[in-house]
Amino acid sequence: METLKINGMSCGHCTSSVTKTLEAIPGLSQVTVNLDKGEATFTNSGVALEDIRAAVSKIGFDPGKLT
Ligand SMILES: [Cu+2]
């Protein structure tokens, strides 16, 4: 599992947007987004971090570092 910080989520709609966006990326699975922690966790089979960060930015959130 990898964990990515995601800044800017403020409610359940935000978490579901991020969840759907990450689930739509081929290669990511078991996506869980935690609003309180501001984090997304997922299993990544070979997707470049920059591609994941770009997808999150595109829908208006600020992706941080992998932790
Ligand atoms: Cu929201």
pLDDT per residue as tens digits for the range 15-66: 999 999 999 999 999 999 999 999 999 999 999 999 999 999 999 999 987 6
pLDDT value at residue 43: 98
Ligand 1 center from residue 51 Cα (angstroms): 22
Ligand 1 center from residue 57 Cα (angstroms): 15
Q: Which structural domain, as residue segments, surrounds residue 26?
A: 2-66
Can you give the pTM of this predicted structure?
Answer: 0.93
Ligand 1 center from residue 16 Cα (angstroms): 9
State the CATH number of the domain containing residue 17: 3.30.70.100
Q: Which residues 6+ apart lie within 8 Å of 50 measured at CB? A: none
Ligand 1 center from residue 17 Cα (angstroms): 8
pLDDT value at residue 67: 60
pLDDT value at residue 8: 97
Q: Report how many domains make up the chain.
A: 1
pLDDT value at residue 7: 96
Written as six digits, the tokens of 43 are 């299993």
